[in-house]
């Protein structure tokens, strides 16, 4: 079991450093996708063990994985992500920056989107992405101030943010930052 555990948690693959459930945590635990209490026969089946972060696993996932016949979480080995955008960000700037993330329902992918919607909800991803986005903007604050001071231009800020967005790959772990920058650079 410990060899299987090591193999799943520390695979020799690149780009496998983020939790596949949230895209932001470090995968340090193995989630039993089908809970071991209910399915002891699958408790050491590698395809039932998903390397995820402790926050997803301990704080949010729990033992309830299905409701009214509908799965509540994506199985990251089996569920195929569609090519379409599945998340959007909205940003409101008053005396502070308020950001919210929500899921997009892709009409052509109702089965996937239903599960993704539950997954997003159950793992409290809006709250967690908001926190991540706030930390990101705080980290960039100095650079933003410097860019603004050059010409006192909001356009310069927009361009700076657009460049930040363009610099991020579109993959699950970077998409949050990308959405955030795209939305922020369009916000007046
Ligand atoms: Zn996670």
For 17-75, the pLDDT digits (tens) are: 789 999 999 999 999 999 999 999 998 898 999 999 999 999 899 889 999 999 999 99
- Helix (H) or strand (E) holding 184, with range, is helix 175-186
Pick the more confident residue, 13 or 3.
3
| pLDDT at residue number 184 | 67
- Residue whose tokens read 């089908």: 34
Q: What is the Å distance from ligand 1's center to 125 Cα?
A: 9
Does residue 172 have a pLDDT over 60? no
Q: What is the pTM of this model?
A: 0.79
- pLDDT score at 16: 60
Q: Is the pLDDT of residue 118 over 80?
A: yes
* Six token digits for residue 51: 């390397």
The predicted pLDDT at position 14 comes to 53
Report residue 73: phi and psi, to 5°. -135, 150
**How far, in Å, is the centroid of ligand 1 from the Cα of 25?**
5
User: Which tokens in the block code for residue 83?
Assistant: 């090519």
d(CA 162, CA 123): 29
| Å from CA of 77 to ligand 1 middle | 15
Q: Residue 157 — φ and ψ, nearest 5°?
A: -65, -45
Residue 9 tokens read as 């948690």
Tell me the CA–centroid distance for residue 68 and ligand 1, in Å. Answer: 25
- Going from the Cα of 21 to the center of ligand 1, the distance in angstroms, rounded, reads 5
pLDDT of residue 120: 96
Distance 167 CA to ligand 1 centre (A): 24
- The crossing angle, in degrees rounded to 10, of helices 110-122 and 125-151 is 80
CA of 59 to the centre of ligand 1 (A): 10
Joined tokens for residue 55 = 């926050």
User: Residue 76: pLDDT band by 50, 70, 90 thresholds?
Assistant: confident
The alpha carbon of 106 and the centre of ligand 1 are apart by a number of angstroms equal to 23
* CA 91 to ligand 1 center in whole angstroms: 24
Residue 174 has pLDDT above 60, yes or no: no
Give the rounded percent of residues in the chain with a pLDDT score beyond 70.
Answer: 82
Please determine, for residue 101, whether its predicted confidence score (pLDDT) is greater than 80. yes
- What is the Å distance from ligand 1's center to 46 Cα? 18
């Amino acid at each position: 079991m410990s060899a299987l555990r090591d193999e799943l948690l520390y695979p020799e693959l690149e780009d496998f450093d983020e939790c596949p459930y949230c895209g932001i945590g470090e995968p340090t635990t193995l989630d039993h996708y089908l809970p071991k209490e209910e399915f002891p026969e699958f408790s050491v089946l590698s395809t039932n063990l998903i390397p995820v972060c402790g926050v997803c696993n301990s704080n949010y996932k729990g033992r309830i994985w299905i409701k009214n016949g509908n799965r509540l979480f994506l199985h990251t080995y089996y569920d195929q992500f569609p090519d379409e955008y599945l998340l959007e960000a909205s940003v409101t700037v008053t005396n502070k920056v308020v950001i919210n993330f929500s899921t997009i329902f892709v009409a052509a992918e109702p089965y996937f989107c239903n599960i993704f919607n539950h997954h997003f909800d159950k793992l409290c991803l809006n709250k967690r992405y908001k926190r991540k986005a706030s930390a990101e903007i705080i980290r960039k604050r100095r650079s933003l101030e410097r860019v603004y001071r050059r010409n006192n231009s909001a356009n310069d800020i927009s361009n700076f943010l657009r460049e930040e967005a363009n610099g991020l790959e579109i993959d699950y772990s970077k998409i949050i930052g990308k959405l955030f920058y795209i939305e922020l650079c369009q916000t007046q």
